[in-house]
């Protein structure tokens, strides 16, 4: 009996993993072929993760019945993206190699708009909550969120939900309801302070999270939703505007309700390893966003500053507390997109992506940048996901750079194949004018990778000592898919202008 069970399991796995379909048996004893979703090998730890960030409203519209006051041509309006649409396009992410999905908040947001930006600005982004105990019907239902999480898990993708503890939306019911009015500091009441904790960020009503009843209400709402739908983690908004005492209480409640593996990544504006450490020291979150990576990387690639200085920056990124992570990005919803900052230069942008995926931390892909969504300054950095000729709204007809997407797939594949790239040590090997060469080494596996980036227009050659682990082995450039030959010292490596090499051995 046991042999029969194993045999059936093996046959099913062969069909699923190798052929891409399963054969369910019908009541009549006949079989029908059923396609299975594209899947990705789940990350083994969060430093191996590939995180993809989506503004739900700007990605894909899967249910036109919930489109209320939608206008894709209005930069401040809802564009119609929803949870069903995102669920329908999960294969797009799994095929790319994404192992974790971060989505903007989906709780019920305020119904109206504000005009402080000079145009009607709606809560399409999800950060202006009106009711933390219900989902916004413009994004979908709680059942839709659970369906997204289940479908993502089926593909090997973890799901992080963006949540806000610091503030409610402009004019939210919490401000007008006599039962909750005292929970918030507001500009109208003149109760906003001047420090990070008591100020009303951008004029938004500020929750007094130091009050036990407020903290308990917010914790119950967010953690309850996470437990019901099976989330894998939270992205924590505006972390420095809430006390350390609250975040410590939050961690304890998370571990009690959701388990020790529930992942917390926080936004501390301007964050880097030193400035994030107070939250790591108290184990208040597992990771924080590295705000300096975009600017430092683009400055190097555009010729601002010396290669040796950029190498020192890459070394300093390793000074994060052990067991905690930096999440580094090239673009986000709060800053101008990298492709826009380099004036649409795909060569420079690709080199930036290469540096992102060959350095430690959790690389964050901002939706659409992998297909060339330019993403200018706000609000253009929140434009629609480009879908080309595919019949997907709201970004149908927006051009896609499929060659760039293939580059991203290759970079992700290379990164995941080499532990040295996501957890190894950093050794600078050469910094001559426009050429930067560094070595990544993972002691646990003996994996060694050498990365060479030439920001100049002309070819550059480096003479390098061959790592001991490479002796008499064939060196491959896995980025350009070239064989370099058998390793001998010194090793001459030539990098074309505006190009890079990623070297490893068979």
Res. 63: pLDDT tops 90: yes
Mean pLDDT of the chain: 93
What the block records as the tokens of 201 is 């960020």
Q: Selecting from 3.20.20.80, 3.40.640.10, 3.30.1360.40, 3.40.50.880, what CATH number does the domain 46-166+209-417 have?
A: 3.20.20.80
Q: Dmax of the chain from CA atoms?
A: 77
d(CA 386, CA 375): 11
Mean pLDDT of the 108-118 span: 95
What the block records as the tokens of 206 is 């500020």
Res. 26: pLDDT tops 90: no
Q: Given the structure tokens 């402009």, which residue do they identify?
A: 170
Q: What is the pLDDT of residue 489?
A: 86
User: C-alpha angle with apex 268: 264 to 273, nearest 5 degrees?
Assistant: 85
For 70-111, what is each residue's pLDDT tens digit?
999 999 999 999 999 999 999 999 999 999 999 999 999 999
Q: Given the structure tokens 């060479």, which residue do they identify?
A: 452
For 265-301, what is each residue's pLDDT tens digit?
999 999 999 999 999 999 999 999 999 999 999 999 9
For 368-381, what is each residue's pLDDT tens digit?
999 999 999 999 99
Q: Which fold has domain 425-505?
A: Immunoglobulin-like (2.60.40)
Q: What is the pLDDT of residue 2?
A: 30
Res. 27: pLDDT tops 50: no
d(CA 217, CA 130): 14
Band of pLDDT at residue 488, cut at 50, 70 and 90: confident
Res. 20: pLDDT tops 50: no
* 46-166+209-417 matches 425-505 in fold: no
Mean pLDDT of the 237-248 span: 98
Domain map (residue ranges) of the chain = 2-35, 46-166+209-417, 425-505
Q: What is the pLDDT of residue 25?
A: 37
The length of the chain is 506
Res. 53: pLDDT tops 70: yes
Mean pLDDT of the 186-215 span: 97
Mean pLDDT of the 217-241 span: 98
> Can you count the helices (H) and strands (E) in the chain?
14, 24
Res. 244: pLDDT tops 60: yes
Q: Is 278 helix (H, G, I), strand (E, B) or coil?
A: helix
Q: What is the pLDDT of residue 406?
A: 98
Q: Higher-confidence residue: 477 or 3?
A: 477
């Amino acid at each position: 009996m046991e042999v029969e069970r194993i045999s059936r399991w093996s046959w099913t796995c062969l069909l699923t993993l190798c052929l891409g379909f399963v054969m369910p048996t019908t009541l009549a004893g006949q079989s029908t072929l059923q396609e299975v979703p594209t899947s990705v090998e789940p990350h083994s730890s969060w430093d191996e993760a590939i995180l993809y960030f989506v503004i739900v409203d700007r990605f894909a519209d899967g249910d036109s019945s919930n489109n209320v006051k939608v206008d894709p041509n209005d930069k401040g309006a809802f564009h119609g993206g929803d949870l069903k649409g995102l669920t329908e396009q999960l294969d797009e992410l799994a095929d790319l190699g994404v192992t974790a999905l971060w989505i903007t908040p989906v709780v019920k947001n305020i119904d109206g708009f504000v005009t402080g930006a000079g145009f009607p600005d709606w809560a399409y982004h999800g950060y202006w909550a009106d009711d933390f105990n219900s989902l916004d019907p413009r994004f979908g239902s709680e059942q839709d969120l659970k369906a997204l999480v289940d479908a993502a898990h089926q593909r090997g993708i973890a799901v992080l939900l963006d949540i806000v503890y610091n503030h409610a939306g402009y004019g939210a019911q919490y401000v007008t309801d006599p039962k909750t009015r005292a929970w918030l500091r507001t500009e109208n009441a003149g109760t906003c302070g001047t420090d990070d904790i008591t100020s009303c960020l951008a004029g938004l009503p500020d929750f007094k999270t130091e009050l036990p009843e407020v903290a308990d209400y917010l914790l119950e709402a967010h953690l309850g939703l996470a437990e019901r739908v099976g989330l894998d983690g939270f992205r924590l908004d505006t972390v420095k505007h809430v006390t350390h005492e609250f975040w410590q209480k939050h961690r304890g409640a998370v571990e009690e309700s959701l388990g020790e593996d529930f992942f917390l990544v926080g936004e501390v504006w301007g964050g880097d390893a030193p400035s994030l450490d107070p939250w790591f020291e108290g184990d208040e979150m597992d990771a924080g966003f590295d705000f300096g990576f975009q600017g430092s990387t683009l400055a190097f690639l555009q010729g601002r500053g010396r290669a040796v200085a950029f190498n020192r920056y890459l070394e300093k990124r390793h000074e994060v507390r052990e067991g905690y992570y930096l999440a580094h990005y090239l673009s986000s919803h709060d800053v101008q997109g990298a492709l826009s900052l380099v004036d649409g230069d795909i060569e420079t942008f690709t080199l930036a992506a290469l540096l992102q995926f060959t350095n430690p931390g959790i690389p964050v892909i901002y939706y659409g940048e992998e297909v060339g969504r330019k993403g200018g300054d706000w609000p253009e950095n929140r434009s629609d996901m480009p879908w080309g000729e595919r019949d997907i709204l709201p970004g149908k007809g927006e051009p896609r750079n499929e060659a760039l997407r293939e580059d991203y797939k290759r970079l992700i594949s290379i990164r995941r194949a080499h532990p040295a790239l996501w957890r190894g040590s950093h050794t600078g090997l050469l910094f001559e004018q426009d050429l930067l060469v560094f070595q990544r080494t993972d002691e646990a596996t003996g994996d060694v990778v050498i990365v060479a980036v030439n920001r100049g227009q002309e070819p550059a050659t480096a003479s390098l000592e061959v790592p001991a682990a490479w002796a008499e082995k064939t060196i491959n450039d896995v980025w350009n898919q070239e064989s370099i030959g058998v390793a001998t010292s010194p090793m001459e490596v030539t990098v074309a202008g505006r190009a890079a090499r990623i070297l490893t051995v068979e």
